[in-house]
Structure 1
Amino acid sequence: MDINSQEHIKAIAPEVAKAYQLGKEQKYAEAYNVLVPHFEAKEIPSYFEEPCGWTIYRYLKNNENKLSSLEIRKALSFYLSFASCKPSTLHSCIMVQAANLEKKHENDFRFVEFCQMWNLNSLREEDYIAAKGTTESGKSIEFKSLAENVATRLYKELKSRHTEEFVTQLFPFFLTVKEKCPMNKFIGMYIAQLYYWQNNKEKAIEEYKNILKTAPEWFVWKNLGDICEDENVRISLYCKALTMMGKNEYIGDVRLCLAKLLLETNKEQAAFEIEQYMSTYKEKGWKIAGEVYMLQSRLSGVAPSSQARKFYRDNVEEAENYVYSDIPVYELTYKGIVTNNAGKEKASLVNKRENIYIRTSLTSQLRKASVGEVFLVRVYQQDKKQIALTIHPSGKKVELTPKRQADKQVGNCDIATISGIVSLPAQGSFCFIDHQYYVPEKLTTANDLKEGDRVSAKAKKMPDGRWRVVSILKNA
């Protein structure tokens, strides 16, 4: 039978029309079931493949919580049997649905094989672009692109079955996602692991070190520790990870890895890690692996260390030197806490001689710092942005001029550090510092400025000669 003959097209048209009408009535399962016999007989003409494809998509989308993995895979196999599978809105929608369904049926949904049949080269340019939306409260949010979501789902599956064939075939896709989605800090980590699974440890370590220059997240330090062979380096990397993540529920694996490394050389610290692991898991009601009980048994009678924080600090420097050996260290002076336009507090550090101006996340040591305290900071230059990678006290302190002094210029506009007394107008939610530096409403409200407060601030000289405050320094 020629399924593309005019006779066959006319014969099957009523069934396709019936399914279309049922779909309009939102009877998606009924529409799909009308066409199932024709799908199974492989007698859908190419002329009707697109409308039939949309019927499959709507069936999956609107019944995903009711369908078994077998029913889902069967429907997707019908779609993939169409000769016209190619880059299109429909093709991308099918991938969206498959990625969503994989989350619900990850134990028996072979997403890698599905992607191979779907053909990842079929992703359109728009599939690499993140979507933007707004919450009910009006806050702007960004959703990852389809390509990023596919990469994440693939990586999760590859963690449990990374065969040489799969890794080799999928590597180009991950490289493409990294190129087209440069803001995604996870893609580089996925690529590092792909190198490791290819037994290219040197390249994997190099990739992780590059990631840590722009995204020094605790889990990246942990993953780098997992692939290093030198035990002392691994210990230091796990310690660095532990100093960067404060929530115990996220770091159970780090504690477990560290405990196993310290089992013979530092039993007290190993006992502390196991104690913390057990405490968190019991509190959360999580299942504790048998391996943990075995380690606890081996440490029976050992008192947990009371100097855990010191142990972490003593080992952190080795991790930082291992990763950042090529990054220069500068002396930067702490200028205080500033609040950006989003209302988020940052620490401000400067070195005018080297023309370095950094705003970085607050750590416990920076919250306790006083204005003029000097820190040793590793500074990485990314495009025009300067990033503080490591910060340690130098023991030095300098006196800063309290009144205004020019910090730098932006075009023809001066940026200055000023200090003075807050004055509030009779009307409006804005204010002034020393009656001449205008503080917009957003900064006034975010910093809860009141009449008579003494504050320091960054101010910008506008083209008309007036000064506008752009950030508040908490320590006046």
Structure 2
Amino acid sequence: MLRSPQIKELRKSGKLQEALTMAAEDLTNLPEDRFAKSNIGWVYYEYLKKYVQEENVIKFSEILYHLTELSLPETDKMLPDNIAWQTGKIIFKEVKKQYIDYTVLYKIIEDCMTMHFTKPSDGYSFLLKAFHKVLKPNSHKYIELINWWNLDNLQEADKNKDVLPNGKEVMSVAEQVLTAYFKAKVPVGNEPIDKEKVFESVAELDKAIEEYPKYLYLVYFKVKMLLAINEKDRLLESFLPFAQKKSGEFWVWDNLSEILEDEEDKVTCLCKAVLSSERTENMTSNVHLKLAKYFLSMNMFPEAKWEVLKIVDIKNAESRRIPVDVLLLQNQSWFTETESAENNYKFYQNHAENSVELLFPDKQTEYIFITNVNENNGMINFTKENDQLGFFNKERNRLRFPIREGDIIKVKFDIFSENAPSKIIVAKKDSQETLLQRNFKMVVGDIRITDKGFGFIDDVFVAPHIISKHNYAHGQQINGKAIRTFNKKKEQFGWTLL
């Protein structure tokens, strides 16, 4: 007969060894009895709590193994659900230590994966958070973890961003796990690639992207997978929305350089990658190596040597091994016979100038003629080639170059409106002969100044501030430039002196 009340009393009073001895005797007599297993299981659980408090991970692992030997019924989830919390607690304690015994932690995780938990549940999610901390660096084990845990068990709470005590938001558990999981599935190194498995991973990724559209990095991993098997069809279409949102990251441009086919576009992307790597220069060796090979193909040996030396500097700064490809370049005759360029930054700047245009291939390039610049509020009025009128705010569109009345700007609009500020995604000073001839002319003639302070040179309007600025006098001959502007009151175009 089981002594369940006595075992429970001993356990509750902290007499764990006596409780364990009694429960073990009962289990020996009734080895298949579910209640005998439950009795000793709860004693083991008290030991787990004890070793969590003592931070004794080895003893914790030993007890956990004894629990797995019980082979508890799949329907008995109360004990495993409680074990989940204690397991998570001790793992979080261990990963904060300077020395981490991964062998023991791996064993704990393997043993937990034989148990039956309530799914989904808070305890099961807590277990995932803990296991994520341990297995994230190990791609093979991380994939095994997620296949066992099953991402369908994510709860709504797992999808909410965590808020740190200082108020800073960090990735939700779901985003962290999905990011680590699909990163682990990207083919790396020289291992043989199973195309069918990669396509299966891409299909799985597409489902995740549809379910979690705000998790931008999922698209990045899709790109890496398809690049690994040289499948570029529709890749650009998938990657561009992500790249547009992350255009300040060097690796976005590095990846785009691999997707695009045009050689000059590739170089543009690589140059933009370097210019976007101010905070992550230590990660750009591969970009510099690609540029070195490009310069060599163009017989630009001083520039190529500078790229190679840059890689060496990056690696030496962190006491890291020089890549074999770089060592091979250093041993070639051109390297020893060439004096290095001072640097390649001017080349980068010149070639990256139009890089943003590559992110918006479907947006039409247009030319606009600047008709008015309000220095006080930053609003700028313009005329399009078809005489449509519009305006935009210079600061909100982050246009850093000076803009003056009479300038012609080559643009790509994200949003164009005649009644609200337009949004510009690409802008560059340019020239366009047809637009210039229609909206600009030279003026020679005598000025007529009215009593109200404004004037005319034939049909050209002269604003009071222009008269005041140049101290024009009535009847004075003026030789100047005029632009075509729209008169809202008369609802027609006219000419205004600059």
- Taking structure 1 as the reference length, the TM-score comes to 0.67
Partner letter of residue 237 of structure 2? E
8 Å Cα contact 1:130-1:145 kept in structure 2: yes
Match of 1:14 in 2: 43
> How far, CA to CA, are the matches of 1:385 and 1:112 in structure 2?
48
> How far, CA to CA, are the matches of 1:148 and 1:279 in structure 2?
35
8 Å Cα contact 2:357-2:426 kept in structure 1: no
Please say if 1:35 is aligned against 2:66: no
Distance 1:386-1:14 versus aligned 2 partners, 3 A rule? farther
> How far, CA to CA, are the matches of 1:251 and 1:169 in structure 2?
31
Among candidates 71, 74, 77, match of residue 107 of structure 2:
74
Distance 1:19-1:238 versus aligned 2 partners, 3 A rule? closer
Secondary structure of 1:110's match? helix
Among candidates 212, 232, 241, match of residue 243 of structure 2:
212
Partner letter of residue 289 of structure 1? P
8 Å Cα contact 1:189-1:207 kept in structure 2: no
Match of 1:154 in 2: 181
Among candidates 322, 336, 342, match of residue 288 of structure 1:
322
Match of 1:270 in 2: 304
Partner letter of residue 311 of structure 2? Y
More strand by share: 1
Q: In the TM superposition, what whole-angstrom CA distance separates every residue of 1:318-350 from its partner, at most 9, and x where no partner exists? A: 755554332134548676799xxxxxxxx9876
Match of 1:379 in 2: 413
8 Å Cα contact 1:99-1:150 kept in structure 2: yes
Per-residue deviation, 1:76: 1.0
Show the 5 A alignment for 1:14-413.
14-20=43-49, 23=52, 25=53, 29=57, 32-33=60-61, 35-45=63-73, 46=76, 47-64=78-95, 65=97, 66-84=99-117, 86-103=119-136, 106=137, 110-135=141-166, 140-159=167-186, 160=188, 163-164=194-195, 167-171=198-202, 174-179=205-210, 181-197=212-228, 199-217=230-248, 218-246=250-278, 248-268=281-301, 269-298=303-332, 299-300=334-335, 301-305=337-341, 308-316=344-352, 322-330=358-366, 331=368, 351=382, 353-357=389-393, 359=395, 366=400, 369=402, 375-381=409-415, 388-394=424-430
8 Å Cα contact 1:151-1:174 kept in structure 2: no
> How far, CA to CA, are the matches of 2:165 and 2:85 in structure 1?
28
8 Å Cα contact 1:130-1:144 kept in structure 2: yes
> How far, CA to CA, are the matches of 1:332 and 1:254 in structure 2?
38
> How far, CA to CA, are the matches of 1:195 and 1:41 in structure 2?
44
Secondary structure of 1:36's match? helix
In structure 2, stretches of 5+ residues that fail to align are: 1-29, 384-388, 440-498
Match of 1:402 in 2: none
> How far, CA to CA, are the matches of 1:30 and 1:308 in structure 2?
55
> How far, CA to CA, are the matches of 2:122 and 2:38 in structure 1?
24
More relative contact order, 1 or 2 (CA 8 Å, 6+ apart): 1
Match of 2:15 in 1: none
Per-residue deviation, 1:97: 1.4
Partner letter of residue 93 of structure 2? N
> How far, CA to CA, are the matches of 1:274 and 1:225 in structure 2?
19
> How far, CA to CA, are the matches of 1:348 and 1:198 in structure 2?
49
Partner letter of residue 233 of structure 1? D
> How far, CA to CA, are the matches of 1:158 and 1:280 in structure 2?
28
8 Å Cα contact 1:358-1:388 kept in structure 2: no
> How far, CA to CA, are the matches of 1:277 and 1:350 in structure 2?
47
Give the root-mean-square deviation of aligned CA atoms: 3.9
Secondary structure of 2:427's match? strand
8 Å Cα contact 1:349-1:357 kept in structure 2: yes
Per-residue deviation, 1:204: 1.8
Distance 1:44-1:262 versus aligned 2 partners, 3 A rule? same
8 Å Cα contact 2:289-2:308 kept in structure 1: yes
Per-residue deviation, 1:284: 4.6
8 Å Cα contact 1:20-1:31 kept in structure 2: no
Per-residue deviation, 1:292: 1.1
Q: In the TM superposition, what whole-angstrom CA distance separates every residue of 1:214-273 from its partner, at most 9, and x where no partner exists? A: 332332121111244443432232123234444543432211111112312132332232
> How far, CA to CA, are the matches of 1:71 and 1:165 in structure 2?
35
Structure 1 window deviating more from structure 2 (123-132 vs 325-334): it is 325-334
8 Å Cα contact 2:305-2:338 kept in structure 1: yes
Per-residue deviation, 1:306: 5.7
Q: In the TM superposition, what whole-angstrom CA distance separates every residue of 1:149-203 from its partner, at most 9, and x where no partner exists? A: 1132224433427754654454455345534544443232122223334543122
Partner letter of residue 174 of structure 2? A
8 Å Cα contact 1:327-1:378 kept in structure 2: yes
Match of 1:5 in 2: 34
Distance 1:314-1:22 versus aligned 2 partners, 3 A rule? closer
- Taking structure 2 as the reference length, the TM-score comes to 0.64
Distance 1:39-1:17 versus aligned 2 partners, 3 A rule? closer
Per-residue deviation, 1:393: 2.3
Distance 1:20-1:278 versus aligned 2 partners, 3 A rule? closer
Q: In the TM superposition, what whole-angstrom CA distance separates every residue of 1:417-447 from its partner, at most 9, and x where no partner exists? A: xxxxxxxxxxxxxxxxxxxxxxxxxxxxxxx
> How far, CA to CA, are the matches of 1:31 and 1:332 in structure 2?
77
Partner letter of residue 331 of structure 2? S
> How far, CA to CA, are the matches of 1:245 and 1:20 in structure 2?
47
8 Å Cα contact 1:57-1:97 kept in structure 2: yes
> How far, CA to CA, are the matches of 2:33 and 2:422 in structure 1?
62
Partner letter of residue 273 of structure 1? E
8 Å Cα contact 1:281-1:287 kept in structure 2: yes
Distance 1:351-1:305 versus aligned 2 partners, 3 A rule? farther
